Structure 1
């Protein structure tokens, strides 16, 4: 049975990168692509049909342009307009169509953190029944370097599994941020440095075991590199991204309603690359 990808568009020029990414993903995965636009419920009824027709024509024109730009054949697709609250309709359609992925774009200038919490993107991220991609960059190529922040949580394990299954051709970097008690006060002491090195080695062995255990369950896994860096997770992730410029960061959600992680909010506030948020269950 073919997968269904749901692309939600607001028709803005900033959504073009997400549209192109949705096309590339659907084409690469042989998936059905549902293209959705949600109309304002307060539109006058007498103009609603005209607006729906105009929206469909605009989406079709953009689809033709992108296919020509990227030399892609059209995947099986459907263009649909609905009336209602955007995040509600997107989540409902994802449920009803058993979507395996939602693709959206960002239409907010970076750095405007105070405007992030109430956006459609954030509301969808908090309620979606499947992973959500927020695409900010034109897809000149498939994602080749994917960064996955990991710890020992169920959310991190599920995110890693999603990465291994979905992107078997990519290079995966697993990034773990570590810190130990007493570093500031005792870091210069010889015995503390020895203890720290021992603890970091033990941590790496535990993470290696965790990753290898998951990889044994799967076939055809991609190249994987495990990186441990000292510091707080947001700081470590931000610094690593600036140094290495990954194409995609995949972050786990702990499945708590109306909640997104600090990592996800940081990545959305300063989108250095595309983001995928994966639920723990």
Structure 2
């Protein structure tokens, strides 16, 4: 892995945010900045040549003053957007891939995988999806902590990318059918208490690991997605970090339900990571 930040841009306003964030991180960490744009190779050759020329000019224009003082390189390549970007990841082996959000398509986004999801699922490096504009370092990081090597890797990387931010780890405990048990007169409270007790025991083991300096780990009862959104809004978090889960190149179902939810509709920027190969 190289000490480089690879940022993908489609030259839109959405990806301009990703460029700003990637440049901010590169400047703060001393990393090399690689900015890439993919021109679809499915178009006619004469049109493709025109698009390549325009893309090169547009990419340098979009970088503008952002690259001042940085070691940077602009790359315009042809191919399928997902495949071409993944090849660049394999060739350059960056420490981080930065992408913008995709164009909203409410119905299609519910029934099929987005480009960003395909990239995260198959990329062999952590991915930062930038949703909100900003040129200042991250201030408040919410860590979705499930005690796995993947979530630990995401939390550790967040500390490297935003060393001055405060980190707030939260662990959600979801008890299936607890509402139905209560409605039928069952001992839902006892079941919930048992789940929470087990989670607190795991939390104590995790605290002793001291992955990074952070605020006290918070254990919350509720569905994972709902808890993360609630805490992100309460803290006004500007970054959520979580484990991507699944193996690189594995079926989509192994991406992880929280990662999928965050990529679809996170309230802020999202950092997804996998554990090191030996974990």
Q: TM > 0.5 between the two? A: yes
Residue in 1 aligned with 2:251? 258
* Aligned pairs, number: 270
Distance 2:274 2:262 in 1: 16
Q: 1:273 to 1:210 in 2, by over 3 A?
A: same
Unpaired runs of at least 5, structure 2: none
Distance 1:269 1:195 in 2: 32
For the 8 Å contact 1:170–1:222, the answer to whether it is kept is no
Offset, 1:137: 0.9
For the pair 1:96 / 2:87, whether they are aligned, the reply is: no
- What pairs with 1:180-191 in structure 2 (closer than 5 Å)? 180=175, 183-184=178-179, 185=181
TM-score normalized by the length of structure 2: 0.84
Q: 1:94 to 1:195 in 2, by over 3 A?
A: closer
Distance 1:13 1:36 in 2: 15
Q: 1:99-145 CA distances to partner (integer Å, 9 max, x unpaired)?
A: 11000101322755636734321110110010001101111421111
Residue in 2 aligned with 1:218? none
1:148 to 112, 123, 143: 143
Residue in 1 aligned with 2:207? 211
For the 8 Å contact 1:255–1:280, the answer to whether it is kept is no
TM-score normalized by the length of structure 1: 0.84
Residue in 2 aligned with 1:84? 79
For the 8 Å contact 1:110–1:270, the answer to whether it is kept is no
Distance 2:275 2:35 in 1: 26
Residue in 2 aligned with 1:11? 11
Distance 1:40 1:195 in 2: 54
CA-based RMSD: 2.9
